[in-house]
Chain A
Amino acid sequence: MKKTPVSRRFTLLAALLSFAGLAVAQAPSGPPIRIGSTLALTGPLSATAQVHKIVGEIYIEQANKRGGWLGRPLEWVLKDDQSKPDLARTLYEQLVTVDKVDLLFSPYATGAILSAMGVAQRYNKVLVHHTFGIPSLVKYDMAFPAWSLGSDPANTVPNTLFDALAAGPKPPKTIAVVTSKFPSIQFMSAGAREVAKKRGLQEVLFLEWDFGNRDFGPIANRIKDAKPDFVFVGAIGLEGNLLLDAMKKIDYVPPQHFYLYPSPGPLVTLPEAKNALSVTIFEEQQPFLNNTGAADFVKLFRERATAAKLPDPSVEVQAAASYTAWQILAAGVAGAKSLDDKAIAAWLKTNTVDTLQGPLRFNGPGNYGEDLMRIKQVQNGHWTVVWPKAFTAGGATLQTN
C-alpha cells in the first residue's frame, strides 16, 4: 500500500510518541529511595574519600538515568564524618533514626566502617562496605564486602605475591619485612612473615614503625645494611614514597620491592618506584575492562576525577571497590525486589553478583568470597598487572631492578 504524506506524518508522530512513552516509562517516579552514608570529606582521610564521593555521584546519576531502583529515583544522603570513626557512629545513628534513610551504604576506611557496622547491626540494616581491611573483625552477617581480599588475606595475599616472585626472573632467597603498625597493615605484614618462612625465605630484617612516623632515614639505612633480595613494605598512603625518598638519599635501590596499600598516584609518578610491586583488584586494562560496567565507568571517572583535579584520575583499587559496592547493593535490591534489608541480605548470600571486579560471591566467613587480589608493578610510569598470568595484558611480566 502506498503511503500518503499524511500517513507518513502519522507514522512519524506515532514513532515519536511511542519513543517518548518509552522514555516516560523508564524515568524513575515516586518518592526517592534514600541511601545514607558518611565519608571522610574532611580530615586526614579526605584525599582518598574524594574518590569515593565522585564514584557515588557517578553511580547515582547512572542509576537514575537507567530508571532508578524498583522504578524509584535514588537520593544519596551523604554526611561528613571528618575522618573520625566515633563521629561516623553518631552520624549513622542519625541517618537511621532522624533522616530515616531506606538503606545504608559504606563510609570510607576500616575504622569508620567498623563504627557503621555496629549501628547497622543494631537496626538490622544491610551494610555493603568497600574498604574494610581486616575481614576477621566482621561479625555481622548482613555486612557484605566489595573489596575482594578474601576471608584470610594475611595468608592468601602474600602467597599470591610470593608465587609472582617465584615465577619472576630472580626468585628472592632473603627478605626484609618493614611495616607500619597501622591496624589493617600490621596483620598482613605478620602474615607475609609467616608465609615467607613457610616458603623457605630467610628473613634478614623485620622492623615496625608507628603510623605517622616522620623520619624514614634510619629505616632505609637498616634495609641497605641488611642487603635483602626482596623488601616487603607494609606501607599505607605516602609511607612508601617517604621510604623511597630516604633510600634515594643513601643511593640505595632495592632489588625487588613491594608496597601493600600505597597512595597509587603519588607512588607511580616517583622515579624511585620503578618496578615497585603492589596489589590490585582492578586496573584500566584487559581483561578487567570487559567486566560489568567497567568501560563506561572508567570513562566517566576519568572525566570527573580530572575535573576535580585528583592527582591520579585512573580507576584502581579505591574507585573500583567503591563502584562495586554500589553494584552489589543494586543487585541485592533488584534480586529481592524490595528494600527490606533481610530480603536483600538473603538474596546476596545465595547469588552471584556481576561487578567491575568480575562475578562475586559472599559465601565465606564474614560474607567474604574469594581473594581476587592481583599483583601489579610500576613499569614505564604506569601500574601494570604482572600476576597471575591470566590477568596480564600485552605479555607483561615481572621486572627486577
Chain B
Amino acid sequence: MSGFTMPSATLLAQSILSGVFVGALYGLLGLGLSLSWGLLRLINLAHFAFAFLAAYLCYQMAQMGVDPLLSLGLIVPLFFAIGAGLHWGMMKFQITPFNSLLVTFGLTGIVEALIQTIWTADFRKLESSYGEHNFKVAGLYVPLPELITLGLAVSLSFVVWAVLRYTDLGKALRASAEDSAVAAAFGINEKRNALLLAGTCSALASIAGVCLALGFTLAPSQIYAWIGVVFAAVMLGGLGRALAPLIAGIVIGVSEAVTMAVTAPSWAPLVSFTLLIAILLFRPGRAA
C-alpha cells in the first residue's frame, strides 16, 4: 500500500490545488531571497528567521485581538527597518557574499533562540476568523488563508516585477547589480538603493511570515524546514527575478503534492531537491 497508487480525479485535483497554494508560499518566501541574492549579492539565510519572527509577532498581536492582516501595518515597516539596518551593517563591515551566508546563518540561530525564549519551543497556532472560512468550488475545497497567501504572492510578485522593469529605481537596481562602478558613474546612489532593496526584501519576508502564521502551526525549529525547498525554488527560477520564484515555487509545490497523492508523503521532499540538482547539472548558467 505504500507504493504507487492511482488517485481518484478528486484527490488529484485537490492535491494540485494544495500544491498551488503551498507553492505560492514558497514563491513569496523566495521573492525577497532571490532579490537579495541576485541584486545585492547577499545570501541572506536570516530571511527565514525574519519570516518566522514576523509570524510569531502576528500570532502575538492576534492574541491581543489585532486582525492578522491589519498587523501587517506594524510588521512590514518594522522589518523594513530591520532589513535595512542589517544591510547597513553588512556594508559597514564589507561582508562578502560567502561570509554573508555565515553571518546570516548565525543571525538565524540568534533569532531562533530569541523566539524560543519568548514563545518557548512549543507549537503555536494562530486561531483567526480566516481559518474558519472554506470555499467549495467544483467539488474542491479552497481554504481562505491559503487563498490570501496566493493573492498576496501573485500581486507582490507582479508589483516587484513591474518596479524592476519599468521604474527608474528598478533600472538603477538592475544596473548596480550588473556593474556597480559604471552605474555609480551614471549618478546612481548605490548605497541608498541597496538599503531600500534590503529593507524591501525583509518586508517581503515579513509578509510571507504572516501568511505562514495564517496557514501553518509555528515552532522555532520549523525555520530550517523551509530553507531547502525555498532555495530550490529560488535557484530553479533564477536569481534577481521577481516572477520566477513564484512560478518555480508552484512547479515544486504541485510536484510535491502530486507525489504525495500517488505515493508516500515522505517521498515529496525528494522532488524539490531532485529538481534543484537537475537545474544545477543541466542549466548552470541560470543558477549562477
Which residue numbers of A lie inside 8 Å of B, CB to CB?
42-47, 83, 181, 203, 205-210, 212-215, 217-219, 221-222, 224-225, 237-238, 241-242, 245, 249-251, 263, 266, 311
Contact = CB atoms under 8 A, between A and B. Distances in A.
B117 to A, nearest CB: 9
Given A218-B261, A237-B123, A249-B141, A181 B266 contact: yes
A47 B11 CA distance: 36
Interface stretch (B68-76, B155-163, B174-182, B219-227): B219-227
A222 B18 CA distance: 12
17 contacts: A44-B220, A47-B121, A47-B122, A207-B2, A207-B265, A208-B266, A212-B221, A213-B265, A219-B260, A221-B11, A222-B260, A225-B8, A225-B11, A237-B123, A238-B219, A241-B125, A249-B141
Contact of A217 (B1, B7, B18, B269): B18
Interface in B215-237: 216-217, 219-222, 225-226
A210 B266 contact: yes
B97 interface: no
A225 B219 CA distance: 30
A214 B268 CA distance: 11
B257 to A, nearest CB: 5
A211 to B, nearest CB: 10
B10 interface: yes
Interface of B: 1-2, 7-8, 10-11, 14-15, 18, 22, 116, 120-123, 125, 134, 136, 141, 143, 216-217, 219-222, 225-226, 256-257, 260-261, 264-266, 268-269
Contacts of A242: 217
A209 B225 contact: no
Q: For chain B, what secondary structure do more than half of its interface residues adopt (helix, strand, loop), or is it mixed?
A: helix
B110 to A, nearest CB: 14
A179 to B, nearest CB: 10
Given A241-B123, A249-B141, A250-B14, A217 B22 contact: yes
Given A213-B265, A214-B226, A45 B121 contact: yes
Contacts of B7: 222, 225
B1 A214 contact: no
A218 B121 contact: no
A263 B269 CA distance: 26
Given A181-B266, A206-B2, A207-B265, A218 B225 contact: no
Contacts of A205: 1
Contacts of B143: 249
Contacts of A241: 123, 125, 217
B52 to A, nearest CB: 13
Contacts of B121: 42-47, 83
A214 B225 contact: yes
Contact of A238 (B11, B136, B217, B226): B217
Contacts of B222: 212, 214
A263 B125 CA distance: 14
A218 B18 contact: yes
A218 B122 contact: no
A266 B216 contact: no
Contacts of B265: 207-210, 213, 218-219
Nearest to A48: B122
Given A210-B269, A215-B22, A311-B122, A44 B219 contact: yes
Nearest to B142: A249
Nearest to A214: B225
Contacts of A251: 134, 136, 141
A13 B14 CA distance: 84
B22 A250 contact: no
Contacts of A222: 7, 11, 260-261
Contacts of A250: 14, 134, 141
A311 B125 CA distance: 13
A205 B222 CA distance: 28
A116 B66 CA distance: 46
A272 to B, nearest CB: 12
Contact of A44 (B8, B221, B261): B221
Contacts of B18: 215, 217-218, 221
